[in-house]
Structure 1
Amino acid sequence: MRREQYIDRAQFCKEVMDNPSNEMFHRLIRCNRGNRNRDLMCIMENGELHYSATEQTQRFSKYFVDLAVPKDKGYDSEFLDLCNVRHNIIQKLGEQENITPKFSTQNICDAIKKLLSGKATDELSLAAEHFKNFPAIVTQFLTDFFNTIMKDKLIPHIYLSLAL
């Protein structure tokens, strides 16, 4: 049984190192919170064993900081060019006075229904649930808000300060 546990731990550690992801990070945290991995005495990084909790913490910290930094894995420059072309077309259409897209309350209601529940709140402590539970209150405000942005071609300063 100990051998099986050792093999499972070794495979898990190899998987974490070979395929780093947010899911693996959270799985590792959950494993370390449980009682089953209390006998893990060291971790290995580049062939070097680290026994102290401080060293292990530093190694994991370094590893996940490195994981968080975007890596260039064959960035598609053609896709960027296509996005820039689309942006320019939309910008030129927006500059024409006779073309102003208009949002309906139904558009806003549909978007509110698609919001994911159970997510973190924003800077104003608003969550998707606020919008989903009171659509009649926010729908008209948001419709007017977005239509004003499209009509004036300006984003209100209050929104810009919140976005920063």
Structure 2
Amino acid sequence: MRKEKYEDRQKIYSEIMDNPSMKNFYQLINRNRGQSKTSTTSIKKGPECDISDPKNQAKRFSQYMEDLFVPKDNSYENTFLELCTARTNAIDPIYENMDTELEPLSETEIFKPIGKLNTGKAMDAFGISAEHLKTNRSILSPIFTTIFNQIVATKQIPLFFKTGITIPVLKKLKDPTLVESYRGITVTPTITKLFEYVLLPRLTKNFIQADMQFGFTEGLSMLIAAFLVSECKSESKDVTLKPLYMIAVDSQTAFDVVSHIILLDKLYECGIHPKLWSIVKDLYKDMSSKIKWIGEINDKFPIQQGV
């Protein structure tokens, strides 16, 4: 085993040296970080009550996640949300009656995204993984082309596309006995991921991204953003001789509380095709997930907000 591990390490190092790339670099970083696993035998339910049974722990996580994905009145100024709601409600019937045709998806548009699916990931709730699709993509591509074009034509997403299994993962340096110390990593159906990959080029065709956005951008990272900040600091100190003021904002659980209505309104402003807009709207309707915890899978709960 030691010999196998040594040879595996040498192979990775050789690949990095022979073919330097950002992907190989981050693989090396993640490999050297190691796996920090934290387990707990109990989850706190209250000040004086702990849950030790995995089934009840899964139920506690399910209650916490369900509450997290329900919109709440946080005493915000809701004028903007109300305007977005009014516009979305007005857009829907207009788009329904518009006779706008969307060019059918081609088999090539299905074949290429299958190759982009990440391998080595957990199987979904139906026991399907990316490897299944990749191995048989020449056979499956025409089948998925027919299915996806039917979905686009009817603008209705099958209900099983909108399900998932959420696994609680402990945040770094957090108390493992508290449910709020965990973030949910959701395994969505592999076919749903493929459908999203297929639609993505058409959805992003009209997007104009800000030049200063570094997260979720191919070829860029937060390290580059940090480099710009450090350069500003150096220039302020050595050239302009003026103080530099910087404000950092940490939005906790930001992605979990995104309003679907506001998200759809932003998509409308981007000018995406009416049919695509209706498909995304339906994709966010009646979403649900189940908690998986120490082998236990709980009942599904609705997801009413969040990306």
**Higher relative contact order (CA closer than 8 Å, sequence separation 6+):** 2
Structure 1 or 2, whichever has the larger Rg, is 1
Q: TM-score range by the shorter chain?
A: 0.3 to 0.5
**Higher relative helix content:** 1
Greater strand proportion: 2
Using the size of structure 2 for normalisation, the TM-score is 0.28
When normalised by structure 1's length, the TM-score is 0.45
